[in-house]
Amino acid sequence: MPPDRSHDDGPRARGDPGGDAGAGAPRDVVRRMVRALDGVPADLLPSRLCHAALGLLPVSGLAMRLSGDDAAVPLCASDDTAHRIVEIQFILGEGPAVRAAEVFAPVLAPDLAGGPNARRWPLFAPQAVEAGARAVFSVPLGTSTVVLGTMDLYRDAPGMLKAPALRTAMLAADAVTVLLAAFGHGPTPVEGVAAWLHDAENHRTEVYQAAGMIMSQLGLGPDEALALLHARAFRDGRTATEVARDVISRTTDFREND
């Protein structure tokens, strides 16, 4: 019986959890991921990357994010629920993705509506269920020494991600890691990833810029301003980047109570 990945308590190297990959051998998984990116324009590449991984897995949706101390920078999301799951976990500071990044191992929550998963993440679980995710599975991107982010999968019904599908998810995450780490080495889809990552960094800069404006408006410190921006995003069901852009364009002023 494969180990219960929903209760990871310490860091370890990612290993084969057993069983066959749902999409075939490791080479097949990587080949299918790369083939899905052939000839894709840079602006469409993040979305295609997400859907390429989603097509390999028996889940309802999928999102990927880059790690950041003060902002969750989304790589891609297959739908609004997947995007919301990423944002909720960063704002609340808890959830499978947070734990997966800490221990560099898959963390599985097969039922967030009750039982040990709901008790483990009392803030995240009800918000995720409300967003449409009954089960959430997170796989880290990167290496044991450099964690780039996470790949978060969800299902709209409860159920464990079985060993073959988990192995496929881990292989897909490794393929994404290679693409992100090797950008700029020739005329390949990876160059499109590099261009998009530059845009993602701009998104993070917008959050910092908006936080600076909130600091000036309210006389707050940087941590308080960032927390207030994320709280507003959470309240309104939007991303931090979207709220930040409104602050920068001066369509949102935190001195005004709404």
Taking CA atoms, 9 is separated from 5, 29, 202, in Å, by 9, 29, 35
* Residue spans of beta strands (DSSP E) within the chain: 61-66, 73-77, 107-109, 135-142, 147-155
- Say if residue 164 is in the same domain as residue 232: no
Return the top range by mean pLDDT from 21-30, 164-173, 177-186. Answer: 164-173
Instruction: State whether residue 220 is helix, strand or coil.
Output: coil
Whether residue 34 sits in one domain with residue 144:
yes
Residues 111 and 207 in one domain: no
Q: How confident is the model at residue 7 (pLDDT cuts 50, 70, 90)?
A: very low
Do 199 and 168 fall into the same domain?
Answer: no
d(CA 31, CA 141): 18
pLDDT for 80 equals 92
Of residues 219 and 133, more confidently modeled:
133
Is residue 7 one of the residues assigned to a domain?
Answer: no
Beta-bridge partner residues of 105: none
Q: Is the pLDDT of residue 10 over 70?
A: no
Question: Which tens digits make up the pLDDT trace of 59-75?
Answer: 999 999 887 555 567 78
Would 255 be classed as within a structural domain? no
Looking at the fold, whether 37 and 164 belong to one and the same domain comes out as yes
The verdict on residue 201 lying in a domain is: yes
One domain, residues 118 and 225: no
Q: Domain count for the chain, please give it.
A: 2
Residue 171 shares a structural domain with residue 215 = no
Name the token pair of 151: 């790949």
pTM (global) more than 0.75: no
What pLDDT, on the 0 to 100 scale, is given for residue 6?
41
Contacts of 75 (CB under 8 A, 6+ apart): 46, 49, 50, 63, 64, 65, 66, 149, 200
| 256 within some domain | no
pLDDT over 70 (residue 100): yes
Confidence (pLDDT) at 96: 96
| 146 and 213 fall within a common domain | no
Tell me: the pLDDT tens digits for 187-209? 344 444 444 445 555 566 777 78
Domain finish residue from 181, 197, 230 = 181
Domain boundary among 181, 216, 237: 181
- pLDDT computed for residue 26 by the predictor: 60
pLDDT value, residue 240:
75
- Whether residue 152 contacts residue 2, with contact meaning beta carbons closer than 8 Å, is answered with no
User: Amino acid identity, residue 233?
Assistant: A
pLDDT band with cut points at 50, 70 and 90 for residue 12: very low
DSSP state of 237: T
Looking at residue 214, which CATH number applies to its domain?
A: 1.10.10
Q: At what angle do helices 240-248 and 222-236 cross, to 10 degrees?
A: 110
Q: Answer yes or no: do 165 and 197 share one domain.
A: no
- Is 8 within a domain? no
Specify whether 86 is located in the same domain as 172.
Answer: yes
DSSP code at position 134:
S
Nearest alpha carbon to residue 258 among 240, 232, 237, 238: 232
Using one digit for the tens of pLDDT, what is the confidence trace for 109-167? Answer: 999 998 899 999 999 999 999 999 999 999 998 877 778 889 999 999 999 999 889 98
Evaluate whether 209 touches 244 at the Cβ level (below 8 Å). yes
What pLDDT is recorded for position 59?
A: 96
Domain contains 82: yes
Final residue of a domain: which of 181, 204, 234?
Answer: 181
The pLDDT assigned to 76 comes to: 87
Residue 176 shares a structural domain with residue 199: no
A 10 A CB-CB count for 131 gives 18
> Is 116 within the bounds of a domain?
yes
Structural domain span for residue 231: 189-248
CATH label of the domain that carries residue 116:
3.30.450.40
Does residue 185 surpass a pLDDT of 60? no
pLDDT of 18-54, one tens digit each? 333 344 556 677 777 777 777 777 667 778 888 889 9
Whether 33 and 146 share a structural domain: yes
